[in-house]
Amino acid sequence: MTSAPEGGALMSRFRSRLSAVSAIGARCALAVACAALVSMTAVEAWQVYGRYVLNESPSWTEPVALLLMSTVAMFGAAVGVRAEAHFGFPLAVHLSPPAVRRALETLAGLIILAIGATLAGWGGVLLADGWGIRIAGASLPQGLWFLPVCLGGALITLFAVERLLAIHAPIAEVATAVFSAER
């Protein structure tokens, strides 16, 4: 059985590694979102050129642009969760007493975790269900539309877990200090 000080050090190492993995994930998600945004701009530019200059609108541009827009939205949302730049009521949280603040931050983290897990889970179901169906106008599987939802939801979940552990890190550190002082 692990004593409290060893358990606290183990949790601290776990949080540190999770934070490093999350930082890499956030950088990759941001790069993917930026690349998707630039690609979507190029696809839409081709759409306009094809329609108004060539007088022959390409059929594949709309479904591809929608896929890229979904990618930008989901990966951008995940990065926003990690940066804590998502929708919230920071004034109410920061004006609350410390115990209420921790409870509100925990509640917000749990809600974000639940939303991320739901997006990842159901996105995966829809991805698998639609994989054999082709998108009209493009020879891509319809399930591909749900890949950004699934991956973005997984990243949101990961970042929410990281945040929840950070919120409760001081509690674990105090408990470790108390148990080590008893020895």
- How would residue 134 be classed by pLDDT, with cut points 50, 70 and 90? very high
pLDDT tens-place string over residues 22-33? 999 999 999 999
Structural domain for 75, as ranges: 4-182
Of residues 57 and 156, more confidently modeled: 156
Give me the percent of the chain exceeding a pLDDT of 90: 67
Q: How many domains does the chain have?
A: 1
Q: Of 3-12, 78-87, 110-119, give the range with the top mean pLDDT.
A: 110-119
For residue 173, pLDDT beyond 60:
no
pLDDT at 174: 47
CA dihedral 82, 87, 91, 92 (to 10 degrees): -100
Q: Given phi > 0 = left and psi -120 to 50 = alpha, else beta, which region is 76?
A: alpha
- R_g (Cα) of the chain, nearest Å: 22
pTM: 0.85
